[in-house]
């Protein structure tokens, strides 16, 4: 009898651990069923344990149950985090001897974020850092990390990232047309959404491109830009056509000027001396700075350049600052409270390193800002990411023209 109870407990506990991870990470459309199953398994497991204690084998069964929950939790977590082997890459039908149709293909490459909850981007990030030996969120905590991602989507409803980049590439195409270039073709691609850059390059080659320019719509040189280049280089593109990369946007004076113009456009009658401006970056752990120092170096150089431009435009340098979402200091709330202490009456904040609005600019940064203890009379205005401002499009085009 005790053996049968222990066996049932092992089975139910293992399923409970498995179901727990599912409930933490499943799409919110199916969350209610997953939670109901987890609660049912937990209730059944508790009933089995009560029976075990009644039969005199309670403590041994409890220990086995805890171990089984852990095993089920870890096995499901490993399955969740397994690399995605289902991605289909189209066939490259172009012959290497085919010179193409004579036009240039611009592969517009940026970070990407699914419109609805999908953890694949972070799963890829976990796997990448594990391969490189860079410490990040421990394995057992990763389902909770993904749960928080899902909670962000549930709060904002949808990420605007993808639709804004569609607008940006259309604006870029129109800018080329306005300048008399009707031959260059444009292909949108994402690191953490579809299509990926290798798929876009294959499409461009199959459609007869004679030259490829990869427009890296990122702020910094980082593991993100490196992963994009890796995906493209795996295709051995240069066996077909020349390929060049624009480099990211951290040194763009046009992009810097966009921040000044948007700030001025959102003064809403306030004096520049009474207005504070906060540039919020993401931040990365110190261990990552060893592997990718340019991520932090470029971001700091760019944001300091923006602050210098704002100061030159008449803003009080004491009320201009840099904050971080995580891993580095200061956090937004601390700097906002400092600005208020200096007399700021209106505080404008940017998600300064993000090319288009995303969960960071729609949810994470505003949440951090709202932690500031400030009087109700102080205006806190979210100016978001770069988005499809004309100067942003000009900055991207300038990068493309520089390598043309």
Tokens linked to 221: 């040189």
What pLDDT score does 5 carry? 83
pLDDT digits (tens, 9 = 90+) for 321-366: 999 999 999 999 999 999 999 999 999 999 999 999 999 999 999 9
The third-level CATH classification (topology) of the domain covering 104-250+392-403 is Rossmann fold (3.40.50)
Which position has the token pair 């988005």? Answer: 387
pTM of the model: 0.91
d(CA 209, CA 220): 27
What pLDDT score does 362 carry? 96
Q: What residues have CB less than 8 Å from 62, skipping those under 6 apart?
A: 49, 52
What pLDDT score does 85 carry? 67
Output phi, psi for 268, to 5 deg: 55, 40
d(CA 232, CA 198): 5
Written as tens digits, the pLDDT of the chain (404 aa) is 577 888 889 999 999 999 999 999 999 999 999 999 999 999 999 999 998 888 888 888 899 999 999 999 999 999 999 987 677 899 999 999 999 999 999 999 999 999 999 998 889 888 888 887 878 889 999 999 999 999 999 999 999 999 999 999 999 999 999 999 999 999 999 999 999 999 999 999 999 999 999 999 999 999 899 999 999 999 999 999 999 999 999 999 999 999 999 999 999 999 999 999 999 999 988 888 988 999 999 999 999 999 999 999 999 999 999 999 999 999 999 999 999 999 999 999 999 999 999 999 999 999 999 999 999 999 999 999 999 999 999 999 999 999 98
Could you report how far apart the first and last alpha carbons of the chain are, in Å?
78
d(CA 292, CA 308): 25
Outline which parts of the chain fall under CATH 3.40.50.1400.
104-250+392-403, 253-386
pLDDT digits (tens, 9 = 90+) for 24-51: 999 999 999 999 999 999 999 999 999 8
d(CA 288, CA 284): 6
CATH 3.30.70.980 for domain 253-386: no
Alpha helices in 55-82 (DSSP H): 58-80
d(CA 224, CA 230): 10
CA angle, 8 then 49 then 143, to 5° = 80
């Amino acid at each position: 009898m005790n053996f049968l109870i222990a066996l049932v407990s092992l089975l139910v506990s293992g399923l409970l651990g498995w179901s727990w991870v599912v409930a933490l990470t499943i799409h919110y459309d199916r969350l209610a069923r997953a939670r109901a199953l987890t609660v049912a398994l937990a209730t059944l497991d508790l009933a089995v344990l009560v029976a075990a204690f009644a039969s005199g084998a309670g403590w041994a069964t409890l220990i086995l149950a805890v171990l089984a929950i852990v095993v089920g939790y870890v096995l499901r977590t490993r399955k969740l985090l397994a690399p995605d082997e289902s991605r289909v890459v189209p066939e490259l039908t172009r012959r290497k001897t085919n010179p193409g149709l004579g036009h240039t293909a611009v592969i517009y490459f940026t970070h990407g974020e699914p419109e609805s909850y999908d953890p694949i981007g972070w799963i890829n990030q976990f796997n990448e850092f594990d391969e490189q030996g860079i410490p990040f969120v421990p394995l057992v905590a990763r389902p909770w990390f993904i749960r928080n991602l899902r909670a962000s989507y549930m709060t904002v409803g949808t990420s605007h990232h993808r639709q804004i980049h569609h607008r940006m590439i259309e604006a870029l195409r129109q800018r080329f047309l306005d300048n008399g270039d009707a031959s260059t073709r444009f292909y949108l691609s994402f690191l953490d959404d579809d299509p990926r850059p290798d798929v876009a390059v294959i499409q461009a080659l199959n459609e007869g491109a004679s030259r490829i320019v990869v427009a890296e719509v990122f702020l910094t040189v980082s593991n993100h830009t490196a992963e994009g280049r890796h995906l493209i280089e795996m295709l051995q593109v240069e066996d077909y056509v020349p390929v060049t990369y624009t480099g990211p946007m951290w040194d763009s004076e046009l992009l810097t000027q966009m921040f000044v113009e948007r700030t001025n456009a959102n003064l809403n009658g306030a004096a520049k001396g009474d207005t504070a401006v906060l540039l919020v970056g993401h931040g990365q752990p110190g261990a990552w700075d060893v592997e990718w120092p340019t991520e932090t170096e470029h971001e700091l150089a760019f944001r300091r350049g923006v602050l210098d431009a704002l100061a030159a435009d008449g803003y009080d340098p004491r009320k201009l600052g840099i904050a971080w979402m995580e891993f580095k200091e200061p956090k937004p709330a601390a700097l906002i409270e400092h600005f208020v202490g200096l007399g700021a009456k209106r505080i404008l904040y940017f998600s300064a390193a993000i090319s288009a609005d995303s969960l960071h600019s729609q949810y994470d940064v505003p949440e951090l800002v709202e932690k500031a203890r400030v009087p109700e009379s102080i205006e806190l205005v979210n100016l978001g990411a770069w988005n499809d401002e004309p100067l942003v499009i000009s900055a991207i085009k300038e990068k493309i023209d520089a390598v043309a």
